[in-house]
Amino acid sequence: MENKLDTLRHSASHIMAEAVVALFPETKVAIGPSIEDGFYYDFDRKEPFTVDDLAKIEEKMREIIKENAPFVCSAVKKEDAIKLFEEKGEKYKKELAEAIEGDTVTFYQSGNFTDLCKGPHVKSTGEVQFFKLLSVAGAYWRGDSSREQLQRIYGTAFFTKEELNDYLTKIEEAQKRDHRKLGKELDLFSINDAVGGGLILWHPKGAMLREVIENNWKKFHLENDYELLVTPHIASEELFSISGHLQTYSENMYAPMEIEGKPYRVKPMNCPMHLMIYKTKLHSYRELPIKYGELGTVYRFEKSGVLHGLLRVRGFTQDDGHVIVQPELLEDEVITVFKMAIDCLQMFGFKEYKIYLATRPEKKYVGDIKNWEKAEASLENALKKTGYDYEVDAGGGAFYGPKIDIKIKDAIGRLWQCSTIQFDFNLPERFDISYIDKDGKKARPYMIHRALMGSLERFIGVLLEHYAGALPVWLSPLQVAVLNISAEQEDYCKDFIKKLKAEGIRVVFDNRNEKIGHKIRENAMQKIPYIAVVGARELESNSVAVRARGNKDLGTMTADKFIEMIKSEVEAHK
């Protein structure tokens, strides 16, 4: 079914290209594949496409579909194809044709449009009935920022009207949940050009949200026998030469800075420093596995075009962990880490997952193939023992070893890359780490890299979109808003707030001289779980009037009962 859907969407991209060329004849066409949720086509046109243009293109597509023209495949000599594209001034198609191996290329024609394409396509344009053009974005030719910037029109297509409507509803819901919109509305974070793209400024409430997550992370790791580390943000370039990052990861690292004549780099990874800590003393097999954990901030270069709120940044805090383990215990430890990852995700309310075993990349990797095969077999055996279904992501491993990736499904069914468990036989060799085995001899341990949440920035972005900003009580940066109706209740409210704070409840006092209805609405928009209102009646009865998120009136209750209710709700997540 998926292949058929890909074919339908790829055919829709051709129909869209035909419509664009018919409406805007000066446009040059580039490439138009199907993608996970639809299709796109890249165009070279001086004038930017507008929303009105998309409507015109859609209408033209319907005309083409109504004609029900067949998709006809033909083989053409490569040299003839190149000559044809050169004559038409279609430089992008000419470049694509030149890169195809062999003496022939394939063309697909439908109606008045012929495209260089290997197919497949549906039988005729009439089969593409249910589609929608979604947006326009910039895209560099072949993803190279030094090349031409094109305009990419995105669309989607389905076999039925119901599937299309469901998808469009999902997109509308996703837009409401956009973490960038919520971050601004809830005053959690901002990004400022004067600071730099991809660098997050955490506001008080956002910083508190991070604090809650970090405290839970530390407690969880200490309970699971991890030792916590703290390492510097910069290190000598020599360290990253030893680790191999300079040789294999330099395009993602920032330029060196000179300190007393020696080059330094801001760190892209924490692992080299963790290994330097491991090497400060001799270790026995009795100590293994040694488990290190760090909420370590790292910096990686991302092009400005791919930066996206909290989801794609240049500076981020990894919930990093490294396990140094005896080779014979690797499989057991992978299972332990996997179960820990699932427990962590469930703590935050994620219950559905897709799991992948990512194997050796075809070209860019280090180490002997036999070691890769052993490592892949160990990870696969561990996965089988967990009882979870998984898929193989061929070639998706890191350059230093295979890995297990866990994608989480959010409230509206989207998948997000989250936890990763990576095997590494490269760094133990490069840093020459060892332990003393049962026979009193030096032996080489294995190493597991693992991140349970990935990065705090990305994870918080996902949390905001999953919960649409309405975070669970235990996680909310503010759990209670206390509102007074008049100045007469201020002292009572302040005493009540002291009690809340003494119990570790996060609270804000809204004592503005505004109408109570206005204050309730504004605090409700901040998605604070509980609003406690104090007026003359509550002052007299030593109580508070409580409203729960979603405009639920819980009535009047004593301060002690209210505190107990919140504490019980917080405890319930553990």
- The number of residues in the chain equals 574
Q: In angstroms, what is the C-alpha Rg of the chain? A: 29
Strand 113-116, strand 353-358: pairing: unpaired
Longest dimension (CA), the chain: 92
Residue with tokens 């009439």: 126
> Of 482, 501, 494, which Cα lies nearest the Cα of 544?
482
* Distance separating alpha carbons of residues 458 and 319, to the nearest angstrom: 11
* Distance separating alpha carbons of residues 382 and 335, to the nearest angstrom: 6
- Give the number of C-alpha atoms closer than 13 A to the C-alpha of residue 143, restricted to the C-beta side: 3
Dig out the tokens for 459 from the structure: 């994870």
Residues annotated as catalytic (active site), given as ranges: 271, 300, 318, 320, 322, 403, 449
Q: Is the peptide bond before 120 cis (omega within 30 degrees of 0)?
A: yes
Q: What is the DSSP string of 416-477?
A: EEEEEEEEESSHHHHTT--EE-TTS-EEPPEEEEEEEEEEHHHHHHHHHHHTTT---TTT-S
* Distance separating alpha carbons of residues 81 and 97, to the nearest angstrom: 7
H helix runs in 71-160, sequence order: 78-88, 91-99
Non-local (6+) Cβ contacts of 213 within 8 A are 453, 456, 459, 460, 475
> Of 39, 26, 31, 42, which Cα lies nearest the Cα of 89?
26
Q: At what angle do helices 204-223 and 330-347 cross, to 10 degrees?
A: 140
Q: Is the peptide bond before 70 cis (omega within 30 degrees of 0)?
A: no
Q: Is the Cβ–Cβ distance between 151 and 48 less than 8 Å?
A: yes
Q: Is the Cβ–Cβ distance between 506 and 480 less than 8 Å?
A: yes
* Distance separating alpha carbons of residues 361 and 366, to the nearest angstrom: 10
* Distance separating alpha carbons of residues 428 and 434, to the nearest angstrom: 8
Burial degree of 282 (CB within 10 A; 0-12, 13-18, 19+): exposed
Q: What is the DSSP string of 372-429?
A: HHHHHHHHHHHHHHHT---EEETT-SBTTB-EEEEEEE-TTS-EEEEEEEEEESSHHH
* Distance separating alpha carbons of residues 85 and 93, to the nearest angstrom: 6
* Distance separating alpha carbons of residues 353 and 181, to the nearest angstrom: 26
